[in-house]
Chain A
Amino acid sequence: MTDTIKVPTMAEMFAAGEKPEVLFWVGCAGSFDDRAKRITKAFVKILNKAKISFAVLGTEESCTGDPAKRAGNEFLFQMQAVTNIEVLNAYEIQKIVTACPHCFNTIKNEYPGLGGSYEVVHHTQFLKELLKEGRIAMEGGTFKGKRITFHDPCYLGRANGVYEAPRELIRKLDAELVEMKSCKQRGLCCGAGGAQMFKEPEKGNKDVNIERTEQALETTPDIIAAGCPFCNTMMTDGVKHKEREADIKVMDIAELIAAAEDL
């Protein structure tokens, strides 16, 4: 595993008079959460290897406002949105890729009404594009015979209709894709959305992530794949709760690909 990664910032590129092909929107989880940072790095390694011209905003990036909006604080959301849009527009950003479906949904759907229109893609869509254009190659084989089940993030799947990109990538890994009883349109939430990540759940029989983990375990998977840092945390906690962390891994699609390519 190589540890040196190149992460150009927008400010540097702008100063050098360069324009990246795509802006990588890292997101709060991807920047600060220890588990999610590994996803961020895995994705950057793939970008580096494929020599994709990209940049991050770094310290100029701020929360998209998604959790504020979904908690009901429209005012805070719009303050965040307008601030971010000013930065993005100042850099004349056109295309944005992000590994967080919440950032993806907010920037793609809610920013245009506030003056920020960009082409926004989820990292699984972006990787699929790169693969199709032959800009990254995947050997496959590493995961041969492994059972992988994919947990649909609500804000990628139901909210935006992206179901196939992550699945196509998993199939490319030569792995066996096994579906849970609730998948795609009927996928079950991990329990983190709508700002639930930041509060204690309401009283019930069990937590949503446990229910979802049980559905995942029914497929007797080797790996539970996710495409969202929050889903990743929830499922990881679920697997721990079931004391299965020794034999079942929860991995982001970017991490799967980075592992397959031995990055």
Chain B
Amino acid sequence: MQYLPNILFVVVLLIGTGYFAKNVGKLRRNILLGKDTDVSDDRPTRWRNMLRIAFGQSKMVVRPVAGLLHVIVYVGFVIINIEVLEIVIDGIFGTHRVFSGLGPVYDFLIASFEILAFLVIISVVAFWVRRNIIKLQRFLKPEMKGWPKKDGNLILYIELVLMFLFLTMNAADFRLQQLGAEHYLQAGSFPVSQYISNWFIGMDIPSLIFLERTAWWLHIVGILFFLNYLYFSKHLHILLAFPNTFYGKLGPKGKFNNLEAVTREVKLMMNPNVDPFAAPDDAGDVPSKFGASDVMDLSWVQLLNAYTCTECGRCTSECPANQTGKKLSPRKIMMDTRDRLEEVGKILDANKGEFKEDGKQLLDDYITREELWACTSCNACVEACPVSIDPLSIIMDMRQYLVMEQSAAPSDLNNMMGNIENNGAPWPFNQMDRLNWSKES
């Protein structure tokens, strides 16, 4: 009987982490539905980007208020993991405050957790106010209705509850230490919860222990719940921001990939020594399709992007098309990609890992042509994203599909392309007139 809490704890822990592991597996499988892409270049820069952007939050501070609040919550999250480690060890072995042997270091740690917890509470409240009272523009776009809005708030509520539980647990513990309760050794310093503990004055030891245990259990169960909530939420970015910034685009933003399959074909056509009719049919190399109409046509990095998107809307608020009232929102492009990928994942789950056509695709069913054609390829969204997401690359791949597979460009663009083909300029002027300007006064 004595070991019942330990056993119970281990069971809860296994369920919590097991379910999470299962979903991580699914996540991995879904991301790898994307096409292979070579990201093995320039590792040093990639590591540096990850350290600077994900770990160092360098892009967050572009917006100082949100940036500062975010850094607090982020640091709070990272540091509090040490506390979680202690809770897990205590839970398994039935110890209490197992790290307390660290003495003054432990006092310092606990004190900083408490202060951080307090700051996190303030930040979370500020975030909530920004979302729900001030109603910042970028949280009100059409794509933010329903689940995305709820998700954003739920995360804040969960964080708030977790922080309160943590402080309550410490406050009760502090009271118990003062009363010299057995098992509750004197350890830690409690700059915040000591004030909360004043409310518990007069409570007897058994009730305090009950309170402390309840808060402790709810706290760790809450953390396990939160861990498992991640997969269903934009909050996945707290994990994926790291690989995503690592695999993010390098080099100048204006440099778009040259499709290799096209290069081969063009070289073949341009080479006068090759008889085009005798050209060997190396169909194996030619992709079955140019561009992207569904998630499987995108690269796995683009799919990783979709799962990493935090729906912060910084991209959308910088997008010139969006600012002038057009339907395009780069955030929506990312959310649509994720939604469709999840849908495809569900089809795989239901059919033993095999994909069965469901008559839907990313193009038209999620992302409309009107959105795609509104993009000016200005890279404002790419620049704005705090976690190195490239919505523009998806837009371009889908345009490629529209033009190269469906010949479905707007007619003006067809004219432009016809002109380039025939006259070497996007306008209907004769190439032989190219130098006329030098003779005109």
Across the interface, B412 reaches (CB within 8 A) one of A28, A86, A161, A199, namely A199
The interface-forming segment of A143-151, A163-171, A206-214, A243-251 is A206-214
The verdict on B421 contacting chain A, using a C-beta distance below 8 Å, is yes
Which residues in B have their C-beta under 8 angstroms from that of A67? 416-417, 420, 426
Which residues in B have their C-beta under 8 angstroms from that of A65? 420
How many interface contacts (CB-CB < 8 Å) are there between A and B? 223
| Interface-central residue, B324, B382, B412, by most chain A CB under 10 Å | B324
- Give the docked Cα–Cα distance between A32 and B270 (Å): 27
Contact B413 A198 (CB under 8 A): yes
Write the chain A residue with the least CB distance to B436.
Answer: A31
Contact A71 B417 (CB under 8 A): yes
Contact B383 A72 (CB under 8 A): no
Contact A204 B399 (CB under 8 A): no
What is the CB-to-nearest-CB distance from A84 to chain B, in angstroms, rounded to a whole number? 9
Contact A186 B396 (CB under 8 A): no
Interface residues of A in 176-212 (CB under 8 A from B): 185-189, 191-208, 210-212
The verdict on B318 contacting chain A, using a C-beta distance below 8 Å, is yes
Contact A114 B263 (CB under 8 A): yes
The verdict on B429 contacting chain A, using a C-beta distance below 8 Å, is yes
Q: Report A45-79 CB contacts with B as 1/0, cut-off 8 Å.
A: 00000000000101101110101111111111011
Interface residues on B, range: 35 or more
Given A78-B266, A202-B370, A202-B373, check contact A158 B412 (CB 8 Å).
Answer: no
Chain B residues touching A, majority SS: helix
Across the interface, A62 reaches (CB within 8 A) one of B398, B403, B425, namely B425
- Give the docked Cα–Cα distance between A198 and B418 (Å): 12
- Give the docked Cα–Cα distance between A196 and B373 (Å): 8
The verdict on A262 contacting chain B, using a C-beta distance below 8 Å, is no
The verdict on A233 contacting chain B, using a C-beta distance below 8 Å, is no
Contact B434 A59 (CB under 8 A): yes
7 extra interface residue pairs, beta carbon distance < 8 Å, beyond A44-B438, A189-B320: A32-B433, A68-B416, A79-B421, A109-B255, A199-B416, A204-B325, A208-B323
Give B residues with C-beta under 8 Å from A.
251-256, 258-259, 262-263, 265-267, 269-270, 290-291, 318, 320-321, 323-328, 370, 373-380, 382-384, 396, 398-404, 409-410, 412-413, 415-417, 420-421, 424-427, 429, 431-438, 440-441
List 7 tightest A-B contacts by C-beta distance, closest first.
Answer: A159-B254, A194-B377, A72-B399, A205-B325, A62-B424, A109-B255, A204-B325
Q: What are 28 A-to-B residue pairs whose CB atoms are below 8 Å?
A: A3-B441, A28-B426, A31-B435, A56-B438, A59-B432, A61-B434, A71-B416, A72-B291, A74-B258, A74-B262, A74-B404, A76-B420, A86-B270, A109-B251, A113-B258, A114-B258, A154-B378, A158-B253, A159-B252, A192-B376, A198-B413, A199-B373, A199-B416, A200-B412, A201-B326, A202-B326, A203-B327, A206-B324
